[in-house]
Structure 1
Amino acid sequence: MGTQNTLAASVQPKKGRLYAVIQVKENGKSKAVWRSLGLPEGTGKSKVNKAFREVVKKFENEYAERLARNGRPSSDISVFKYMCAYLKKVEPNLQKSTFQSYHMMVYGKIKRYFEPKPQLTVGTITAKDIEKFYEHLFAKNVVANTVIHYHAILHKAFQKAFKDELIDANPFDRIDRPKKNKFHGENYSEEELVTLLELTRSDSIYPAIMLGGGLGLRRSEALGVRWSRIDWDKKTVLLDTKIIEYKVNGKTVIDPVEEMKNKSSRRTLPLPEPVLEMLSEEKEKQSIYRKMFKGSYNRKYDDFVCVNELGELIRPSYVTQYFSDLLKKYGLRHIRFHDLRHTFASILIGQDVPLINVSNFLGHSDLSTTANIYAHLDKASKQASANIITGILNKAKD
């Protein structure tokens, strides 16, 4: 006698009493755990089934929580409980912002979908079950790029389960990764970029805007530019720090991190004269603010270019919102702050700068990344190819 449960279980009599006998696997070995139903033999079937479900359910919850606490999950653990245990295990090796992102996914949509389905365990989940989860996300209007993030964290977690010999194969290897949304940023033209820089010259985030549009930096990179990394004689800047933002117990934390997105992101770039001029003016301005506000000025971040009047680091989320407000204030076409990076790249490509040079400037991990984003703008290489073919075909006429 038994019901559908996460762990295999059945009702067994012993010395005139009824017990739930639950099969669990620990350290690769199976064992039976007996739990009393509190009923004598001969009790009615419906009453036995009800007691059986309650006892097994209670044991499953206690068992999963114990495994999660000990960091030793088994293949019988539910998908959600396993993801909680996995997240706890990898937290020390993750950047705080990455952990925050993972935490939101696990305790957000993953929890809402998988917690009510305890029958889906690490050992039983199938490719079809995974596809149903993705279909659920798409039905909730989650974009493909976000679904890819869920696929990535789940795939990593189950790969760990495979390495730990909890499962014989990673079920996420049996399905295709969701395809990315094709997205082209709303680039500004050269004229629009010049107008933006002229109008925002006196605004607090002007240095970030100049670094985004004039060097093609990511938001986190622009905010992480440091005075000590600038070589005024060689007119270069080393990018090796980014500013991340995350929450701890509901409180927002801003943190400089000397760990870039990838190896290529740590790069030294030449500084165009207008950017050098902006940096020089900003350095003088900060000197004035330090004298003006004295003890109220935060000296902790003296090495950073992008700080407010009191010397505090500028929040990435503030840049995003304030940039949008500035565009409305000046009646400019709306773009995202990140689109300044796309603007920078599109202008270079429009001026026939080779794609490999643009890729190196942007700090992409490989040329294919740049090509996938900007190939539609690379008219120079396309025209060069057309010219070569034209020359060959013209010879055929002779």
Structure 2
Amino acid sequence: MKASLPYKYITSVKNGKQYVVFDYKDKAGKRKRKWVSTGLPEKCTKKALNEAVEEIVADFADKWNNNQVVFNTAPKKNTEDESEPVVINQELSDFFSEWLTAIKPNAARTTYQCYKRIMERFMKYMSAEYPDVTLADLNHSQIQTFLNYKMDQGLKGSSVKQYYLAIHSAFMWAVKMEILPQHPMDKMVMPRAERHEAVFYNEDELNELFEVFKDHKLELIVHIAAYYGLRRCEILGLKWDSIDFKKKTISIERKVVSDYDENGKPKLFVETRLKTNSTRRTLPLIPHIEEMLLEKKKMDKHYKKLGGKEYSTEFEGFVCCDPYGKLISPNTVTHDFHEVIKKNGLKMLRFHDLRHSCASLLLANDIPMKAIQEWLGHATFNITANLYSHLEYNAKVASAETISRVLGAKKEETPAESEQSAKTETESEKPAPKKSNSRKKKKDAPAESSHPTAV
């Protein structure tokens, strides 16, 4: 909204059409909201929308300056140009729909879908427990009751925390847009998430895993996950132009996520907007992975020639395609990985835990935590430290030895050392042999010294 004017305005979508929404106060100091249609559909060019908005705002400003804006007119229904009070008492479902529409352009697809699912579940609960509560009536106790309900359902603290953050974000937007005078969750305390200790495979378990995935369509994906610790979406987003066989590098530049299209059908989306800036990184090409990639590239050419017109080219250029040219989906990776592990009786873990396995092996071989952060593409050092600091046992041993040496603590004796120590003590208790008289006489004789005695 433009705060430098006596009124504010934003663009918003309503019923599939673009509107300019003006926000101002009437003569009595009550806030009003006026919706003016641009005449454009939701999907229109940026240039057309900007031109329409400029024209509408200029017209509104002219009316405002000439006192032609009607303050107390009752809102008219079924009109595209209507004046109405600020919707502080609007239905919760309408508010959340408005919020989701507002954040969608700047939110990652997975984040948006997560928020959408949370709001749907929150609204389902509110409709059952508090059917008459509107946005203005909602308070922190009702939200807290909902979070407690999710805890009682068996959700972990970390999951309930995600619910809290999503709902908090929605109402923060409402306060920012002056739809609400204050945040209804100000008195609440964020749920405490339990510390997550990652499950991981050691070196022997990983080698066994590689063996059971030999010649499986996920073989390359599993190896890349274990060697590089890449996220599932990052592996599926690899293209051949991301791999430089001459410079021996591999670059993480895009991701593949699963979502639903406008018809509600599952669809794979390729996105170049990654989780954080640190996620976009270039790493050395490991020789073992290079060999597997070269073999995969060779087989892709063979399958394409063999398939002819039946070979899919929708995701041509991507590394993780099946023999028919179709990109392997995130859900397929998760499902097949679990099934193979279960079938072969291996220790159960998620596909994402291969990322943790990579980090644990690096730590076990004395790779600094900062280097691991850059390898995994974590946004901050704290994320890496919080996840893997409990695995850094070598550093703890070194710390114990250092403090022991500094404070002079007695080193714990082994059984052999204890036996030798006891033997020495026994010998020291025996009476000393008598000294010869000649020794004694020699000792009694005054010693000559070429140096004067200090006084």
TM surpasses 0.5: yes
Q: Are 1:213 and 1:343, in contact at CA under 8 Å, matched by a contact in 2?
A: yes
Distance change (3 Å), C-alpha of 1:382 and 1:263 = same
The answer for the alignment partner of 1:147 in structure 2 is: 160
**Contact between 1:123 and 1:166, CA under 8 Å: does it hold in 2?**
no
Q: Secondary structure at the match of 1:225?
A: coil
The CA RMSD measured in Å over matched residues stands at: 3.0
In terms of mean alpha carbon deviation, does 288-297 or 378-387 score higher? 378-387
Q: Which of 152, 174, 196 is the equivalent residue of 2:187?
A: 174
CA contact (8 A) 1:241 1:256 kept: yes
Partner residue in 1 for 2:126: 114
Deviation at 1:247, TM superposition (A): 1.7
Q: Are 1:315 and 2:329 an aligned pair? A: yes
Gaps of at least 5 residues in structure 1 are 1-25, 32-61
Partners in 2 of 1:164 and 1:250 — Cα distance? 31
Q: Which residue of 1 aligns with 2:90?
A: 77
Which of the two has greater helix per residue?
1
Question: Structure 1 vs Structure 2: percent identity of aligned residues?
Answer: 30
Deviation at 1:94, TM superposition (A): 2.7
| Distance in 2 separating the partners of 1:207 and 1:181 | 34
CA contact (8 A) 2:369 2:384 kept: yes
1:147-196 CA-to-partner distances (Å, cap 9, x unmatched) read 22221221111111111122232232332211113222321110110121
Among 164, 167, 187, the residue aligned to 2:177: 164
**Does the CA contact (< 8 Å) of 2:226 and 2:358 recur in 1?**
yes
CA deviations on 1:8-59 (whole Å, 9 max, x unpaired) are xxxxxxxxxxxxxxxxxx855559xxxxxxxxxxxxxxxxxxxxxxxxxxxx
Q: How does 1:1-398 map to 2 (within 5 A)?
A: 27=24, 30=30, 74-107=87-120, 109-116=121-128, 117-248=130-261, 249-394=263-408
| Letter of the 2:133 counterpart | L
Answer with 379-388 or 225-234: which moved more. 379-388
CA distance in 2, matches of 1:194, 1:213: 10
Alignment check: 8 A CA contact 1:207 1:305 kept: no
In structure 2, the residue corresponding to 1:299 is in which secondary structure? coil
What is the distance in 1 between the residues matched to 2:400 and 2:369? 17
User: What does the per-residue CA deviation read over 1:190-236, in whole Å, with 9 as the maximum and x for residues that have no partner?
Assistant: 01101211231211111110111111011111111111011212221
Give SS of 1:244's match.
Answer: strand
Higher CA-based Rg? 2
- The answer (yes or no) to whether the contact 1:74–1:166 under 8 Å persists in 2 is yes
Change (3 A) 1:169 1:391: farther
SS in 2 for 1:254: strand
Distance 1:173 1:233, change over 3 A: farther
Per-residue deviation, 1:70: 11
Contact 1:79 1:118 in 2 (8 A): no
TM-score normalized by structure 2?
0.69
Summarize the Cα distance change of 1:254–1:120 in structure 2 as closer, same or farther, 3 Å threshold: same
Q: CA deviation at 1:322?
A: 0.5
> Match of 1:11?
none
Whether the aligned pair in 1 keeps the contact of 2:198 and 2:387 (CA below 8 Å) is no
Q: What amino acid sits opposite 1:165 in the alignment?
A: E
Secondary structure of 1:255 counterpart: strand
Shift of 1:73: 6.0
> What secondary structure is seen at the aligned counterpart in 1 of 2:269?
strand
| Structure with larger RCO (C-alpha < 8 A, sep 6+) | 1
Q: In the alignment, residue 111 of structure 1 is paired with which amino acid?
A: M
Q: Which position in structure 2 is the counterpart of 1:37?
A: none
TM-score by length of 1: 0.78
1:73–1:85 CA contact under 8 A, matched in 2: no
Whether the aligned pair in 2 keeps the contact of 1:80 and 1:110 (CA below 8 Å) is: no
Residues 70, 115 of structure 1: alpha-carbon distance in 2 compared, 3 angstrom cutoff? farther
**Residues 71 and 331 of structure 1, relative CA distance in 2, 3 Å threshold:** farther
What amino acid is the match of 1:110?
F
2:11 aligns with none
1:237 counterpart SS class: strand
The 1:96–1:395 alpha-carbon spacing in structure 2 relative to 1, beyond 3 Å, is: closer
Q: 1:286 to 1:71 in 2, by over 3 A?
A: farther
Unaligned runs of 5+ in 2: 1-22, 32-74, 411-455
Look up the equivalent residue of 2:348 and give its one-letter code.
H
The alpha carbon displacement at 1:389 in A equals 2.1
SS of corresponding position for 2:97: helix
Compare 211-220 and 293-302 and name the one that shifted more: 293-302
**8 Å CA contact 2:212, 2:340 repeated in 1:** no
Secondary structure at the counterpart of residue 173 of structure 1: coil
Aligned length: 341
Query: CA distance change for structure 1 residues 180 and 325 in 2, over 3 Å: closer, same or farther?
Result: same
In structure 1, C-alpha distance between the alignment counterparts of 2:318 and 2:118, rounded to whole Å: 32
* 8 Å Cα contact 1:217-1:341 kept in structure 2: yes
